[in-house]
Amino acid sequence: MGDIIKGIEFLGIPATIAIVLVGLFLILQIIGELCEIKGKIVPEFLKIRKYFQRKKQEKEGINRMILDCKQALLEFNSHYSPANIAKRDTWMHEVDDSVRSNDELIQKLDGKMDKLLETNEALTTQLEQVKSNVLENEADRLRSELFDCGNRCRRRIRLHPEEMDHIRDVYRKYSEVLHQNGPGQREFNFIADYYDKQDFPDYHQKNK
């Protein structure tokens, strides 16, 4: 310090001014040191501050989560209070009873359906048999009518046009509806041939 002042005096600068200059130099040195310390401390301080802010936010988040959990538990408890549990159990028993009743009803219906199907099958068989008998009887009736007409022709009885029209209708039912042939077809051919060859010229001419 004294050496600095002596050096300044050697330069011909008054002592007062030298002291002032040295004071300014020291102040600037102190400011520089402070600035250097600040440059190191401030970032660390900011890091610490951010850390505490983050911890504060995490704490607030945890507190909100705890409140949400408490609210959820309260709602859960309100839904599953003893009264609600009793209502739920009653409802479940009613559902079980309904399902059991439906199962019993379905079993009964299945049994009845089986019986109905068996009955229906038996009725169908009987109806088919009745239908077959009816068709067979109808075929016999029509065949008998054809043979009756044929017997009349063999006895040389006159066959009028309206009778022949009726015989044609009988044979159409016999062959096309009942799908019968054989003796009935041969008898109809005989009748038709007899009708065409009736030896009643005047009668044929009158009814052509």
Mean pLDDT calculated for residue range 75-104: 72
Number of domains in the chain: 2
Q: Which of 35-44, 91-100, 101-110, 172-181 has the highest mean pLDDT?
A: 172-181
174-189 burial, b at 16+ Cβ within 10 Å, e below that, comes to beeeeebeeebeebbe
Residue 40, amino acid: K
Dihedral pair phi/psi, residue 105, rounded to 5°: -65, -40
Task: List the structure tokens of 88.
Answer: 């739920």
Does residue 110 form part of some domain?
A: no
Q: Tell whether 107 is covered by a domain.
A: no
> Which tokens sit at 53?
């802010």
In a domain, 149, yes or no: yes
Is there a contact between 186 and 180 (Cβ–Cβ < 8 Å)?
no
Q: For position 92, what pLDDT does the model report?
A: 73
Quote the domain boundaries for residue 143. 133-207
Summarize pLDDT for 161-204 with one digit per residue, the tens: 999 999 999 999 999 888 888 888 999 999 999 999 886 554 44
Last residue of a domain, one of 65, 84, 119: 65
Distance CA 12, CA 86 (A): 109
